[in-house]
Amino acid sequence: MIKKGVILAGGTGSRLSPITKITNKHLLPIYNQPMIFYPIATLKKAGILEILIISGQRHAGDFAKLLLDGSEFNMNFSFRVQKGGDGGVAEALYLAKNFAGNDNIAVILGDNIFEDDFSDQINNFQKGAHIFLKKVSQANRFGVAEIDNHKNVINIEEKPNKPKTNFAVTGFYLFDNTVFQKIEKCKISPRGELEITDVNNFFIQENKMTASFVSGNWTDAGTFESFFKATCLAKDLYDKSKENN
């Protein structure tokens, strides 16, 4: 069972320059909403109403102005600032240590848009870590999972030039509170970041990693191509919601 969620919305958005020169990537519009509204909706759909939003210092005030305390969403928002904003996903997540306390947490990257409802996985989660995989055509853009014959994840490689599988690790993770001890063991990667892939591999080494596949549509929005794909997916989801209402 997980009651707390963390949205990671830092980074410089350099791959989307020049449209990110004066604003944070996660505040850009995806169809009819700011990008960050989509991970908020993913967490809310799964029953997580207490959210910590972590952003870089340049645009932290913009997030606060847009989202306020979360009451507009019938949720509770709090904020932390990642100094510099480009030290990696694991560095940003470490700022959630006090927010998490002794509790399990769901972590979602602010540029990920999912169609799935993750309520079952979140309600059934007990300990260790759980990741969500998706078969993709350009696996080298992501962390790539290797799976054995029993569908257990045996290794994750970050953005490999020659991926061993086409199973991308999406930007949604479930962790128990030992995740922060594992971040403390991480070393800065050649990219100059603390990598979430290293954190996940620590869980794998302890045989405390499980995984499931995303059945519905999913995309990130970190490149112009995926940003366009995200807009198309968001429109499809909006159209479906109108049909069901």
Domains of the chain: 4-244 (3.90.550.10)
Residue 138: predicted pLDDT: 87
Tell me the average pLDDT of the chain: 94
Per-residue pLDDT of 164-174, as tens digits, reads: 999 999 999 99
pLDDT score at 241: 83
Residues 58, 49: Cα–Cα separation, whole Å: 26
pLDDT reading at 197 higher than 80: yes
- Overall average pLDDT of the 237-241 stretch: 88
The whole-angstrom separation of Cα 1 and Cα 127 is 9
User: Which residue, 131, 133, 187, 139, is CA-closest to 165?
Assistant: 139
Residue 41: name the closest of 123, 121, 118, 126 by CA.
Answer: 118
Confidence class for position 85, pLDDT limits 50, 70, 90: low
Question: Look-up: residue for tokens 């290794």?
Answer: 155
* Residue partners of 136: CB distance under 8 A and separation at least 6: 142, 166, 167, 168
H/E element holding 147?
strand 143-147
Mean pLDDT confidence for 222-228: 94
Q: CA 89 to CA 96: how far, in whole Å?
A: 12
Residue 8 corresponds to which amino acid? L
Global pTM reads: 0.95
The predicted structure's pLDDT at residue 240: 85
CA pair distance 222, 15, nearest whole angstrom: 7
Residue 183 has a pLDDT of: 97
pLDDT for residue 188 is more than 80: yes
Q: Give 6-54 pLDDT, tens digit per residue.
A: 999 988 778 898 999 889 999 999 999 999 999 999 999 999 999 999 9
Of all residues in the chain, the percent with pLDDT exceeding 70 is 99
Confidence check: pLDDT of 190 > 90: no
